[in-house]
C-alpha cells in the first residue's frame, strides 16, 4: 500500500519566481544637505547590499545618474556633483560605478565592487529602469571629520542659519566674517564651505529667494579651440546660466591677466587685484581676479566657481573680463580678471 501511494504522489513543483517589481528609487531631489542611514525600499537593492550600510541621500544621487543612463545620457563629473547638490548630499562623491543588465537582474560583478569599497565610506546604490533593462549605479563618498550642519538648500531672505566652522561667501562672492550664524540678507546664491585639517570637506551652495538650477554652471565646451577661447566660451555660458548677457573681453584686462599669470608661473605673490585694476584705469566699482590650475580649462573654472574666496570673478557678473592662460607640467594655469 505504501508503494502504491508513493507511485501516485504528484511531483513537487518549485515555488514561482517572484519579481521584485519595478525599481524603487531614493529621491533624486531633496530639501536638506544631510546624510541618512536607511534600508533600501527596493528589495533587489536591499538584497544586493547584503546588510551593508546604505545612505539614502547618496542613493538619491545614484538614482539621478541611473535615470539619465536610461535616457541615453552619461553624467560627467560636473553633472555628478550637481546631482549631489540637488539630492542634498554635501560631500564630494569619490567613485562612480555603473552597469546595465536585464530587468530584475543584479550585475554579476556588483558583489565584488561592494566588497572592494574601503571601510568608512558612505555607499549609495540604486537601479532605474530604462528601455533596455535596469541601470545600476554604485557611489562611494568619504565624509570628512568637520561638522557639516543640516542646511536647507533653499532659504528665504533674512533667515539666520548656522555657520559654525564654515567659510561663507554672499551672492557677489564677498566673504562674510566668521561667526556662529550668518543672516542671509541678500537674494541669490550663497556658498558655505566646511574645512578640516586636511582641507575642504564639503561645499554647499544655498539659494536665497530663488530656486536651485537644474544644471551645473560650468560644463565643457563642445569642441576645443584653445585654452583662451575655451575659457571665454565657458565664461559666456556661466553668465548665461545666471541669466546675464555674456561679458566682453577687454584688452586692458587681458594685459592685467597676463601680468598676474607671469607672477603665478614664477611663483611670485600676486599684487592686490583692486589696486592693480585702479592703476590700469578701472576706478569705479572694485573688480576681482582669480588664478586656477587644473588639467583643463573646464576643471579650472569649475574650481573657481566652487571657491568662496575666488568666485567673485564669476559670481558678481562683471561686464568686462580679461584672460590669460599657459601650460605648465601638462596642466593649464588660468587667470581671469573682471571689472566694470
pLDDT in tens, 246-272: 999 999 999 999 999 999 999 999 899
Measured distance CA(158)–CA(179) in Å, rounded? 16
214-238: per-residue pLDDT in tens? Answer: 999 999 998 888 999 999 999 999 9
Q: Which of 71, 80, 192 is nearest to 141 (CA)?
A: 80
Cell of 67: 535615470
Answer yes or no: are the C-beta atoms of 324 and 316 closer than 8 Å: no
* pLDDT of res. 223: 80
Cell of 274: 583692486
75-126: per-residue pLDDT in tens? Answer: 999 999 999 999 999 999 999 999 999 999 999 999 999 999 999 999 999 9
Q: Is 272 left (phi over 0), alpha (psi -120 to 50) or beta?
A: beta
Using the predicted structure, report yes or no on whether residue 5 has a pLDDT greater than 80.
Answer: no
- Give me the percent of the chain exceeding a pLDDT of 90: 87
* pLDDT of res. 329: 92
**Higher pLDDT among residues 183 and 21, named by residue:** 183
29-80: per-residue pLDDT in tens? Answer: 999 999 999 999 999 999 999 999 999 999 999 999 999 999 999 999 999 9
* pLDDT of res. 2: 34
Using the predicted structure, report yes or no on whether residue 9 has a pLDDT greater than 50.
Answer: no
Measured distance CA(127)–CA(97) in Å, rounded? 12
Cell of 41: 525600499
Q: Which of 259, 213, 238 is nearest to 313 (CA)?
A: 238
* Cα three-residue angle 160-162-167, rounded to 5 degrees: 110
When pLDDT is cut at 50, 70 and 90, the band that residue 14 belongs to is very low
* pLDDT of res. 186: 97
Using the predicted structure, report yes or no on whether residue 16 has a pLDDT greater than 80.
Answer: no
* pLDDT of res. 128: 98
Mean of the per-residue pLDDT values of the chain: 93
Cell of 165: 566652522
CA 304 to chain centroid: 13
Give the residues across from 29 on adjacent strands. none
CATH topology of domain 227-339: Pathogenesis-related Protein p14a (3.40.33)
Residue length of the chain: 340
- Report helix, strand or coil for 316: coil
Measured distance CA(211)–CA(194) in Å, rounded? 23
Concatenate the DSSP letters of all residues of 212-247 into one string: PPSS-S----SS---HHHHHHHHHHHHHHHTT-PPP
Residue 33 is inside which H or E element, if any? strand 32-33
Place of cell 550600510: 53
Which pTM does this prediction carry? Answer: 0.91
Residues near 271 by beta carbon (within 8 Å), at least 6 away in sequence: 260, 263
Amino acid at each position: 500500500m505504501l508503494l502504491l501511494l508513493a507511485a501516485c504522489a504528484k511531483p513537487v513543483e518549485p515555488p514561482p519566481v517572484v519579481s521584485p517589481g519595478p525599481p524603487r528609487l531614493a529621491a533624486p531631489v531633496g530639501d536638506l544637505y544631510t546624510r541618512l542611514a536607511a534600508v533600501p525600499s527596493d528589495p533587489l537593492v536591499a538584497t544586493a547590499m547584503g546588510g551593508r550600510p546604505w545612505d539614502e541621500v547618496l542613493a538619491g544621487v545614484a538614482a539621478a545618474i541611473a535615470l539619465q543612463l536610461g535616457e541615453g545620457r552619461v553624467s560627467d563629473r560636473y553633472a555628478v556633483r550637481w546631482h549631489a547638490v540637488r539630492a542634498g548630499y554635501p560631500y564630494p562623491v569619490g567613485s562612480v560605478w555603473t552597469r546595465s543588465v536585464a530587468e530584475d537582474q543584479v550585475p554579476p560583478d556588483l558583489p565584488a565592487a561592494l566588497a572592494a569599497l574601503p571601510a568608512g565610506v558612505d555607499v549609495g546604490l540604486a537601479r532605474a529602469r530604462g528601455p533596455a533593462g535596469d541601470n545600476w549605479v554604485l557611489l562611494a563618498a568619504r565624509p570628512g571629520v568637520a561638522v557639516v550642519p543640516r542646511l536647507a538648500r533653499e532659504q528665504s531672505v533674512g533667515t539666520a542659519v548656522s555657520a559654525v566652522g564654515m567659510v561663507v561667501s554672499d551672492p557677489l562672492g564677498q566673504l562674510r566674517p566668521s561667526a556662529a550664524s550668518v543672516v542671509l540678507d541678500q537674494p541669490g546664491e550663497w556658498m558655505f564651505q566646511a574645512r578640516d585639517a586636511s582641507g575642504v570637506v564639503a561645499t554647499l551652495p544655498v539659494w536665497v529667494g530663488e530656486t536651485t538650477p537644474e544644471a551645473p554652471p560650468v560644463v565643457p565646451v563642445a569642441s576645443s579651440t584653445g585654452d583662451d577661447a575655451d575659457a571665454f566660451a565657458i565664461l559666456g555660458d556661466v553668465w548665461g546660466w545666471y541669466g546675464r548677457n555674456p561679458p566682453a573681453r577687454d584688452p586692458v584686462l587681458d594685459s592685467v591677466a597676463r601680468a598676474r599669470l607671469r607672477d603665478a608661473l614664477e611663483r611670485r605673490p600676486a599684487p592686490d587685484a583692486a589696486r592693480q585694476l585702479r592703476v590700469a584705469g578701472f576706478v569705479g566699482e572694485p573688480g576681482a581676479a582669480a588664478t586656477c590650475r587644473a588639467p583643463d580649462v573646464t576643471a579650472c573654472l569649475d574650481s573657481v566657481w566652487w571657491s568662496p574666496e575666488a568666485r567673485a570673478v564669476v559670481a558678481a557678473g562683471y561686464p568686462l573680463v580679461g584672460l590669460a592662460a599657459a601650460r605648465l607640467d601638462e596642466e593649464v594655469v588660468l587667470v581671469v580678471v573682471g571689472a566694470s
